[in-house]
Copies of this chain bind each other. A is one copy, B any other.
Amino acid sequence: MNVGFIGLGLMGRPMAQHIAAGGHQLHLWARRTATLDPFRDGPARLHDSPADVAAESDLVVTMVADAPDVEEVLFGRDGVASAGSSALTVIDLSTIGPVAARNIGARLAADGIDFLDAPVSGGETGAINATLTIMVGGDAKVFERAKPLLHLMGKSVSLVGECGAGQVAKACNQILTGVGVVAVAEAMAFAKRSGVDPARVREAMLGGFAYSRILENHGQRMIDGNFKPGFKGWMHQKDLRIVMEEAQRLGMTLPTSGATEKFFDALVDAGLGEEDSIAVLKLIEQEKQD
């Protein structure tokens, strides 16, 4: 299959490589042309615009930062939609708001282009190891066609519902991982400040109802003091802003998500946004010590 891939960042690059390794012909374009360098000597074909990528592709994957970036790639000058391709499918792997995803799906449908919102979870490690969790919204038939391709990048791939449902699931995922990271940091800091070894507290909790992948993985990294991303603090701030904007629109109050969003704001304000989101531990440990 001819597969376009736009968005060759930290996560996008290994994901595109998995698609090529799966036997597909890659078609690439990048706003930051340096991100194309790892692909220059391979079989991938490089193009001058998203429209050129779309003209040669059966399916175009986008993996960019935020809704305006997706819209620019799809609907901007020389965007994917301007190629006038028929029988094209677009899969957006970016994390954006559910409303934005539904709007994009509707606009593409008007041009006869199929669309799946398919945000991923698992970070750079998951992208490199092709063990991402991929949460998909869209038409079931389009999903079945795209599934083998998604499985080249992810271990757990599921259709959650109609267009936008992938982003709703991702928002729920970011609630649990965002709140989870802060809660684990609170527990580890509480143990330490109480004079008890956080490693032994973590160990005691792993066997019980408090078990979570966040406690297992991020808890260990907090104990090791390893703040290398992983998943950057400012990215989690962005994702929780999406959650809280959507909650506001839906008329919902989300107590722990709201507290977590504010705490990620404080993390970025403290200049720690480029570190892994587990750097919230530093903020909790320094609280009221000044």
A-side residues, CB < 8 A to B, are 98, 121-123, 126, 132-133, 135, 137, 155-156, 158-161, 164-165, 168-169, 171-173, 175-177, 179-180, 182-184, 186-191, 193-197, 200-201, 203-205, 207-215, 217, 243, 246-247, 250-260, 262-263, 284, 287-289
Partner of A252, one of B190, B246, B260: B190
Q: Which of A137, A191, A201 has the most CB of B within 10 A?
A: A201
A92 CB to nearest chain B CB (Å):
16
Across-interface contacts of A175 in B (CB, < 8 A): 183, 186-187, 190
Is the pair A169, B183 in contact by a Cβ cutoff of 8 Å?
Answer: no
Across-interface contacts of A165 in B (CB, < 8 A): 194, 196, 200
Closest 7 CB pairs of A and B: A156-B207, A133-B208, A212-B212, A172-B187, A259-B259, A176-B210, A179-B183
Is the pair B201, A169 in contact by a Cβ cutoff of 8 Å?
Answer: yes
Chain B: CB-nearest residue to A172: B187
Give Cα A214 to B211, complex, Å: 8
Give Cα A200 to B169, complex, Å: 9
Give Cα A155 to B209, complex, Å: 12
How many copies altogether? 2
Is the pair A122, B208 in contact by a Cβ cutoff of 8 Å?
Answer: yes
Across-interface contacts of A180 in B (CB, < 8 A): 180, 183, 210, 212
Is the pair A194, B250 in contact by a Cβ cutoff of 8 Å?
Answer: yes
Is the pair A288, B161 in contact by a Cβ cutoff of 8 Å?
Answer: no
Partner of A173, one of B121, B186, B196, B210: B210
Is the pair A155, B217 in contact by a Cβ cutoff of 8 Å?
Answer: no
Across-interface contacts of A289 in B (CB, < 8 A): 251
Give Cα A49 to B110, complex, Å: 80
Is the pair B169, A253 in contact by a Cβ cutoff of 8 Å?
Answer: no
Is the pair A190, B247 in contact by a Cβ cutoff of 8 Å?
Answer: yes
Is the pair B186, A257 in contact by a Cβ cutoff of 8 Å?
Answer: yes
Is the pair B207, A214 in contact by a Cβ cutoff of 8 Å?
Answer: no
Partner of A259, one of B169, B184, B211, B258: B258
Is the pair B133, A204 in contact by a Cβ cutoff of 8 Å?
Answer: yes
User: Can you report 13 residue pairs joining A to B where beta carbons are below 8 Å apart?
Assistant: A122-B208, A155-B207, A158-B207, A160-B197, A160-B200, A172-B210, A179-B183, A182-B255, A251-B288, A252-B287, A253-B288, A255-B262, A259-B259
Is the pair B257, A172 in contact by a Cβ cutoff of 8 Å?
Answer: no
Is the pair B135, A204 in contact by a Cβ cutoff of 8 Å?
Answer: yes
Is the pair B161, A200 in contact by a Cβ cutoff of 8 Å?
Answer: yes
Chain B: CB-nearest residue to A208: B133
Taking A256-B186, A287-B252, A288-B251 as contacts, is the C-beta distance between A203 and B158 under 8 angstroms? yes
Across-interface contacts of A212 in B (CB, < 8 A): 176, 180, 211-215
Give Cα A48 to B58, complex, Å: 82
Give Cα A150 to B133, complex, Å: 39
